[in-house]
Amino acid sequence: MERSSPLIQLVDTTNTLFSLLSFLSNIQDNPTPTCPQIYIALEGNNPCGYGTISLFTLLFTPSNTVYLIDVHRLGLSAFTTTFEDKPTSLKTILESPSIHKVIFDASNPSDALFSLFNITLAGISDLQLMENASRTGSKRAVLRLSKCIDHDSPLSYAEKLEWKIQKARASLLFDPSKGVRYQVFNERPLKQEIINYCVGNVELLSALYAVYHEKLTEHWRRRVERATARRIRQSRHKNYNPYSRSKGLGPWRNELTELYRRHGSDDDVNDLFDRWER
């Protein structure tokens, strides 16, 4: 598969936001699971309910365009602004159950959007859960995006290596162990490494979605839908812990039940089982 670089648009002023909203307001409701058009990711200082969102990245596949929406600069208006007499905003798109959107691991982004901007995600497919459900082996643990790219992306080895290098270069700018922090996402103008990092978090998702959707049976698609809704619902709970070790486990009941049976004295597993049942 030859990699086609997307067009990159920075949305950091009212006018550029108006331009994006004018375009998005013409998107038809698209609940069809086979052809989602919107892929999203968040970046910032630990983007969850306890952190901040600096950049909201949106890939629109029909035009192969990545929009870098500057939440640090635009604030709440990034999500609530509408264009002229049309009611469309980023908030209404994110909350629409009939506009299909894809994200990798919805939990912490959902927590951040709800806690910081009162946005309740709907119409979401969680790629991390799709991978887990489509697997033929053990479904006990979920994978990171990098592992999914390694195992399942149709990119060539050289293209995967290029993607990893771009990610590694950017991570050096916000790795606390290197003496730097996530504040780099708030520095303007944006460093090219950060732009590449944000684009890299969404540009390969559509190909992964196609791989996993093809592998899933209808039964497992329904289970993924329910598990995604449960993830989003739990992320809005006041006791949600974005750093819980249980986030590394798959959501399927038969495996959680087995963990509970074998490790009933483990508080973490007990808590995980309880949270699954909610």
Strands 38-43 and 55-60: antiparallel
Question: Of 15-29, 78-92, 107-121, 227-241, where does mean pLDDT reach its minimum?
Answer: 15-29
Mean per-residue pLDDT for 243-255? Answer: 81
Within a domain: 255: no
> Can you give the residue range of the structural domain that contains 13?
7-239
How high is the pLDDT of residue 258?
Answer: 54
d(CA 131, CA 126): 9
Say which residues have a Cβ less than 8 Å from residue 267's Cβ, sequence separation at least 6.
none
Dump pLDDT digits (tens) for 138-163.
899 999 999 999 999 999 999 999 99
Within a domain: 107: yes
Within a domain: 202: yes
How high is the pLDDT of residue 47?
Answer: 81
Nearest to 72 by CA among 43, 49, 50: 43
Answer yes or no: are the C-beta atoms of 235 and 107 closer than 8 Å. yes
Dump pLDDT digits (tens) for 161-201.
999 999 999 988 987 766 667 789 999 999 999 999 999 99
User: Which amino acid makes up residue 21?
Assistant: L
Within a domain: 272: no
User: How many structural domains does the chain have?
Assistant: 1
Within a domain: 259: no
Domain CATH code at residue 230: 3.30.420.10
Within a domain: 215: yes
Query: How sure is the predictor about 207, in pLDDT bands with cuts at 50, 70 and 90?
Result: very high
Within a domain: 254: no
Within a domain: 99: yes
